[in-house]
């Protein structure tokens, strides 16, 4: 079974802090994704990566950056956290480009105060 | 207008009822996904289909490519089916394996 893990289930940070959210998958998947999920807005893509050191902006990249130094790990970085970044963050992976299932991590509920 | 639309947004059923959730899309897709999200956040992929029909236990998913429409059916519903069900398409028009999501259907099955 594919396993996607995220570093924290719940996280509380202060405005202006630098925040790292880590995601690890154990099935050698090429593609990895970061989403945020907000009530009434559904799932929105922040960034995705289709290979090591490769990244592409999603629909809402502002205020975020990402890093993928190893195939299994994809990090989401909030350079200076703001209250409007309070949300549920979900990581996912898929085997490769094309119509493949995405496997989701358990999510990190981030609160920025 | 969203590229992927689901109906209904909320659905309440009694245990044992047959349930249908609908999904319509306006973009070209190479595959249609049905996802399930239980309270607490984790999302599980139920089906990925590009034509016809798939069945897994009490769940059935169908897709009509010409009409750009998919349905998720749950037979003999049970309270443990209570969850948010999300329809998503793998778009033909964007790079990678990006999904375009519907807003989800909140299903509550009462005992």
Kindly list the residues from chain B whose CB atom is less than 8 angstroms away from the CB atom of residue A96: 97
Kindly list the residues from chain A whose CB atom is less than 8 angstroms away from the CB atom of residue B41: 37, 88, 90, 106-107, 109
* Chain A contact residues (CB < 8 Å to B): 31, 37, 40-45, 48, 50, 56, 58, 88, 90, 92, 94, 96-107, 109
**Cα distance between residue B9 and residue B88, in whole Å:** 15
Shortest Cα distance from B37 to chain A (angstroms)?
A: 10
Q: What is the mean pLDDT of residues B55-61?
A: 97
Kindly list the residues from chain B whose CB atom is less than 8 angstroms away from the CB atom of residue A109: 41
Q: Please give the pLDDT value at position A91.
A: 96
Q: Please give the pLDDT value at position A98.
A: 78
Is residue B93 very low, low, confident or very high in pLDDT (cuts 50, 70, 90)? low
Q: Does residue A22 have a pLDDT over 90?
A: yes
**Cα distance between residue A103 and residue A78, in whole Å:** 23
Q: Are B61 and B54 in contact (CB under 8 A)?
A: yes
Q: Does residue B51 have a pLDDT over 80?
A: yes
Q: Are A68 and A4 in contact (CB under 8 A)?
A: no
Tell me the CA end-to-end span of chain B in Å, nearest whole number. 36
Q: Please give the pLDDT value at position A2.
A: 64
Is residue B96 very low, low, confident or very high in pLDDT (cuts 50, 70, 90)? low
Is residue B95 very low, low, confident or very high in pLDDT (cuts 50, 70, 90)? low
User: Does the N-terminal peptide bond of residue B2 adopt cis geometry, omega within 30 degrees of 0?
Assistant: no
Q: What is the mean pLDDT of residues B51-70?
A: 95
Q: Please give the pLDDT value at position B39.
A: 85
Kindly list the residues from chain B whose CB atom is less than 8 angstroms away from the CB atom of residue A104: 35, 42-45
Q: Are B6 and B104 in contact (CB under 8 A)?
A: yes
Q: Please give the pLDDT value at position B94.
A: 59
């Amino acid at each position: 079974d594919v396993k996607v893990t995220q570093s924290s289930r719940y996280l509380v940070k202060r405005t202006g802090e630098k925040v790292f959210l880590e995601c690890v998958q154990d099935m050698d998947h090429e593609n990895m994704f970061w989403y945020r999920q907000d009530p009434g807005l559904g799932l929105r893509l922040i960034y995705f990566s289709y290979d090591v050191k490769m990244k592409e902006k999603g629909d809402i990249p502002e205020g975020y950056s990402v890093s993928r130094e190893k195939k299994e790990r994809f990090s989401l970085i909030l350079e200076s956290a703001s209250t409007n970044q309070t949300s549920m963050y979900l990581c996912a992976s898929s085997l490769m480009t094309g119509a493949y299932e995405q496997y989701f991590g358990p999510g990190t509920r981030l609160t920025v105060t | 207008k969203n590229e992927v639309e689901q109906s209904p947004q909320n659905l309440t059923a009694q245990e044992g009822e047959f349930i249908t959730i609908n999904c319509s899309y306006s973009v070209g897709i190479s595959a249609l996904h049905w996802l399930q999200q239980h309270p607490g956040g984790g999302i599980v992929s139920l089906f990925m289909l590009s034509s016809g029909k798939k069945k897994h236990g009490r769940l059935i998913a169908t897709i009509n490519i010409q009409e750009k429409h998919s349905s998720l059916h749950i037979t003999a519903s049970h309270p443990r089916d209570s969850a948010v069900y999300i329809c998503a398409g793998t778009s033909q028009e964007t790079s990678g394996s990006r999904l375009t999501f519907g807003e989800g259907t909140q299903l509550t099955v009462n005992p």
